[in-house]
Structure 1
Amino acid sequence: MRSTLPTFNEVWQRQCRSSILSDEKQFFSKNTFLVACSGGMDSMLLLCLLHCLFPQRVRAMYVNHQLQPDNEVWATFVQNFCEWHNIPYLIKKVQVAKGNLEAQARHARFNAFQQTICSEEILVLAHHQQDQAETFLLRLFSGAGVNGLKAMQKIAVKENIKIWRPLLDVPREKIEQWIKQDSIPYVTDQTNFDEHYDRAWARHTLWNVIKPRFPKMQTAITRTALLMQDADEILYEVLQQDFKCCGNENSLDIQALNDLTPARRRQLLSWWLKTEYRPSLDTVDRLQNEVMYARTDAQAQFFVKPFWYVRYQGKIYRLTEQQKKPKQYEIEIFDCQNIVLNQKYGLNKDLLKESLMLYPRIGGERVHLHGRVGTWPLKKAIQEAQIFPWQRDQIQILKKEDVILGIITPQGFWLAQSDYCVPNGWLPKLDGVSV
């Protein structure tokens, strides 16, 4: 016979249940919940509470990081608890990459949630008020701005996953009290006491220094985090207006950036540079000094993984490594099978029986392009077409002996005027560069 879960007392009803039901009614009334359950005190309490409130809408997930011998023991503990109380569950093993252990573990854990969660599920995390205060302080010590100091949000979306933290306003002392009152079992992770990790140091050393002097500091810090969330929302609205005026995800106009105040310019550049994390203030300054304000004759460029930032004709462009160093075609016999037939104007079909050659552009070439009057320097045609300097190495010249048949460019094939240029002819394609 299966056991029933604890019946939570009046403290639960008064202090926590109403808030959770309010969130659920407002945001999640049609969703189910995937509870991240480590087996620890916080997540076990959360699992029990949500299962009591929404018994048919909850399942648990334990992520086994495989970093400690006890990981298997804790996985078994969560499995046994869920089976005993008829809670659907999943145990998933992950590999944690090298580097910052805390950060890489979070990354591996979230990837596991992404692979598991269903479209109508909400990911529910057991972060509480002390977690929020610790996050705020640790980000403050790392030099975070408003975006970082907003810490964790009760309801958020990350990479299309809806996240809910119903205990974010609840002090840890209350969680400990409720766990004890309702005799909810849990496991203890000893790394939570290892002050080698910043969060454990903050919890066991920093708290003991600050709290006697400022007994309400935890509540005050979490209130400040809420104010930072409001401030960040307002700043984001301003930032989007500036972004619309200055460019797009691939480029920004330097003059439009200079029309902004220094603070708004830094904010926009910081947001535009962001990949997984916001860049440092020094990185933003280097982008301005080494690219925006470099000498006009300088080859201005700056690398912030994984992008290159370069200046060209009054704009800053963001390029991938592949865009900055495009593939160069080999000098080889042209493959006449890769063609498009029956064009309004193209190459004579008799050429399909001939050997055609591709040559790299070396500079100084002159060409009579079909539809234009006279012979032009190829360089001028390239400039008029606004082909970026970092793309020009992939320009190739298609020839029949000494006759230029056309130019293969990042914008497609430019047909040259010659005796081989005829109506209803064919045009070539090469490695995805179309006509």
Structure 2
Amino acid sequence: MSAAIEKRFKAQLQQMLEPKRWLIGHSGGLDSQVLLHLANKTLPPDRLLVLHVNHHLQQSADSWAAFSANQAKQLGLKHISLDAFPESCSEDAARRARYEAFKSIMTNGDCLLLGHHGDDQVETLLFRLLRGAGLKGLSGIPKNRDLESGMLYRPLLGMLRQELEAYAEQHGLQWIDDPSNQSDRYDRNFLRLNVLPVLEKRWPGFRQRGLATAEQLGASQRLLAEYLDRDLSALIGSLGELQLTQMAGFSEERQHHLLRRWVELGSGLLLNQPQLLEIQKTLIDARADAQPQLRLGGLVIRRYQQALYLTERQTGEPLNLSELSPGEHKLGDGYLLVEPSEVGLKTLDGICLERRKSGERCRPVGRGGSCTVKKLLQEAGIPPWLKAHWPLLKSGDEVVAVPGICVCENWDTKSGGFNVSWHSFALSRTRSFGIL
């Protein structure tokens, strides 16, 4: 049993590109203890970092953090305890706080390993079925996904809890049993304690078949996503907008699938049926000359000139930038990307970023005269809510470039300069669309 699990664990990790660091999410429970033990046997210790999140929800929370730190110390591994303060004691609130804590420590190229196992997957499948989930939801817990600037991976997802218990007992591992896991007032606990044992007794092997079903549904979901992404590549404009005119000839079902996929790729939000119908009613079915918008949590979906735009709700005033340098500059409502280029702005010396106000004029290269910045943005089809604070590059009072639109006369070069582009949150989300 032990050798087989270690072999399966290694095989899972061999499917991945080698990360810069391996981060081990360690609660001290059975699954995380087995994960820690396997990782210590398999991965280079100098690239392992053990992370424990203290939610401060249980009286024993501090002792669990101490247990985790001691386990890492016994193995000679680095350990960090992260404090999290969920907004409530619900499972969802704790989960959100936990992932925010993980993201706070992750850097580019990290891989976070978590100990979710096969029983968790079967629970999720049944839980979502009872809630009326679609194909995406019934695909269960994903084996891997992007997280912040790194990757999240669950190498134990194909192993059942009884296998992990046998492994832990064989190696004399100790673990913490969270008393809240025995309370069936939580929906998942109710399924785990009262439903799954009955199903397994009536249909032996139920868990293995549940795992196989989740894998099959996941494969179907990935195939559907491939087809949808192919369609979206022809439906998404240069600003990341979803063109409604081109979708008009599709069936309603296909349109709804494309809309769901567009929102998922751009924000990570999975639309439910009521949200989808609200978008249809409020945005798509609105009169042709309307510019409606719909708030969904921290997002705003807007319609403008027969296209939908996915934006973030703005908080605070957009920022200026007094000095420019190569790289990505985050500015509150978006980011400015400055990259070396053969053709572009000839210098960054003395150049600052200021927000458009009104009345600014410039002389774009190749235009043959002066024009207002407002006219340039109109010609580029920039939506009104983005035009209001579009960034301008200036030297003193002179506009030298409009990022993403033009470079001005006497400031351009064809022998080595800088390309400067602006990505508002509406535009920066297009980076999530690998299809573009």
Q: TM-score, normalised by structure 2?
A: 0.69
Where does residue 63 of structure 1 map in the other structure? 53
Q: Distance in 2 between matches of 1:45 and 1:317?
A: 45
In the TM superposition, 1:350-361 aligns within 5 A as: none
1:356-384, Cα deviation, whole Å (9 max, x unpaired): xx999xxxxxxxxx979xxxxxx999987
Residue 267 of structure 2 is aligned to residue 291 of structure 1 = no
Matched residue, 1:311: 303
SS at match of 1:162: strand
Which one of 123, 126, 136 corresponds to residue 134 of structure 1?
Answer: 123
Pick closer, same or farther for the CA change 1:183–1:411 going to 2, 3 Å: closer
Q: Which residue of the other structure, out of 261, 273, 283, is the alignment partner of 2:263?
A: 273
Q: Which AA in structure 2 matches 1:233?
A: R
Residue in 2 that maps onto 1:101: 90
Q: Give the structure 2 partner of residue 177 of structure 1.
A: 166
Please list every run of 5 or more consecutive structure 2 residues that lacks an aligned counterpart in the other structure.
319-356, 360-368, 409-436
1:205 Cα deviation after fit: 1.3
Q: Which residue of 135, 143, 154 corresponds with 1:154?
A: 143
Query: Residues 128 and 137 of structure 2 are in contact (CA less than 8 Å); yes or no, is this contact kept in structure 1?
Result: yes
- Distance change >3 Å, CA 139–CA 298, structure 1 → 2: same
Which secondary structure does the structure 1 equivalent of 2:141 belong to? coil
Distance 1:321 1:75, change over 3 A: closer
Conservation of the 8 A alpha-carbon contact between 2:109 and 2:150 = no
Question: Does structure 2 retain, via aligned residues, the 8 Å contact 1:387–1:410?
Answer: no
Q: Tell me if the contact between 2:117 and 2:161 (Cα under 8 Å) persists in the aligned partners.
A: yes
> Secondary structure of the residue that 1:130 maps to in structure 2?
helix
Counterpart among 113, 130, 133 of residue 124 in structure 1: 113
Instruction: Give me the whole-angstrom Cα distance separating, in 1, the residues matched to 2:382 and 2:152.
Output: 44
- Asked if structure 2 preserves the Cα contact closer than 8 Å seen for 1:250 and 1:319, the reply is no
Gapped regions of structure 1 (runs ≥ 5): 1-10, 327-357, 361-369, 373-378, 395-408, 413-425
> In 1, distance between residues paired with 2:294 and 2:261?
16
- Post-superposition offset of 1:258: 1.3
Residues 160 and 223 (structure 1 numbering): CA distance in 2 closer, same or farther, change over 3 Å?
Answer: farther
Q: Which residue of 1 aligns with 2:246?
A: 256
Q: Is the 8 A contact 2:298 2:312 kept in 1?
A: yes
TM-score, normalised via structure 1 length? 0.69
Alignment partners' CA distance in 1, 2:129 and 2:161: 21
* Contact 1:34 1:121 survives alignment (8 Å): yes
Task: Note if contact 1:66-1:95 (Cα within 8 Å) is conserved in structure 2.
Answer: yes
Identify the residue that residue 187 of structure 2 maps to in structure 1.
Answer: 198
Measured after TM superposition, the shift of residue 297 of structure 1 is 5.3
SS in 2 for 1:95: coil
Give the number of equivalent residue pairs: 349
Change beyond 3 A, Cα 1:308–1:90: closer
Q: Structure 1 residue 299: deviation in Å?
A: 5.4
Q: Find the structure with the greater CA-based Rg.
A: 1
Alignment CA distance shift 1:36-1:261 (3 Å) = same
- The aligned residue for residue 44 of structure 1 is 33
> What is the letter of the counterpart of residue 245 of structure 2?
Q
The amino acid that maps onto 2:253 is A
Deviation of 1:265 after TM superposition, in Å, equals 0.9
